[in-house]
């Protein structure tokens, strides 16, 4: 059996703390450079010390500063390097167009093909996440792997295997084989534990810790 932990980054620095951003860089580059807040650093360190993450064999990160910052404590604990892959990046939002499609957020969950202008659909994200995770499974058979990624990216991947029960900006609920996995907004950090037999998913669960209470991280 191969264990993959899908881990959302810890609490990011709030946009309200940036007074001015004078740059010609594209929005996607600015998003990739966002760092963890001081609280996010504390929570990332607490996470790395959990017994759940004993005997980790490999670490993967998205191409974003905040996932690498979250992973670095676990990397140091296990003396591991990380592999960075942009296919683990967050969903590209594009232009939501709230005036014409006020419920675009829910539509991204209810219709796997729906996308905003210049953005990605649920299926787009799911496909690239599936591609890289299949490669991880091929290269890490019977190992324990941590994959540091993002809230919507990991949620959309899980929906490949799960039943969606509810989706709104206040709450997302989905279940696996009749077992509720998530029934709230996603936290920062957040951990989904997936167990595979070769490339077949055989179990999924949400791992929660008493000293890491809910924090949306945005």
Q: What is the pTM of this model?
A: 0.92
CATH of the domain at 95: 3.40.50.1240
Give dist(CA 65, CA 62) in Å, integer. Answer: 8
Residue 33 lies in a domain: yes
Contacts of 74 (CB under 8 A, 6+ apart): 47, 48, 53, 56, 59, 80, 146
Residue 147 lies in a domain: yes
Residue 183 lies in a domain: yes
**Going residue by residue through the chain (218 aa), what tens digit of pLDDT does each one get?**
999 999 999 998 766 555 455 655 456 556 666 879 999 999 999 999 999 999 999 999 999 999 999 999 999 999 999 999 999 999 998 887 777 778 888 999 999 999 988 899 999 999 999 999 999 999 999 999 999 999 999 999 999 999 999 999 889 999 999 999 999 999 999 999 999 999 999 999 999 999 999 988 77
Give dist(CA 103, CA 113) in Å, integer. Answer: 15
Residue 195 lies in a domain: yes
């Amino acid at each position: 059996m191969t264990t993959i932990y899908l881990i959302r980054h810890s609490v990011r620095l709030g946009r309200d703390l940036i007074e001015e951003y004078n740059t010609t860089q594209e929005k996607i580059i600015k998003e990739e450079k966002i760092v963890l807040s001081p609280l996010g650093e504390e929570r990332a360190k607490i996470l790395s010390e959990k017994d759940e993450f004993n005997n980790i064999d490999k670490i993967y990160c998205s191409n974003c500063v905040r996932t690498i910052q979250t992973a670095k404590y676990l990397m140091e604990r296990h003396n591991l390097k990380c592999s960075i892959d942009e296919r683990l990046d967050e969903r590209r939002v594009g232009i939501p167009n709230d005036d014409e499609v006020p419920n675009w957020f829910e539509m991204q969950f209810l219709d796997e093909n729906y996308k905003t202008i210049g953005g990605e659909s649920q299926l787009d994200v799911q496909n690239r996440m599936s591609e890289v995770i299949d490669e991880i499974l091929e290269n890490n058979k019977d190992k324990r792997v941590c994959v540091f990624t993002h809230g919507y990216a990991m949620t959309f991947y899980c929906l490949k295997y799960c039943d969606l029960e509810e989706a709104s900006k206040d709450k997302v609920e989905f279940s696996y084989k009749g077992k509720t996995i998530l029934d709230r907004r996603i936290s920062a950090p957040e951990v989904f534990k997936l167990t595979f037999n070769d490339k077949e998913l055989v179990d999924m669960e949400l791992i929660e810790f008493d000293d890491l209470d809910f924090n949306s991280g945005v």
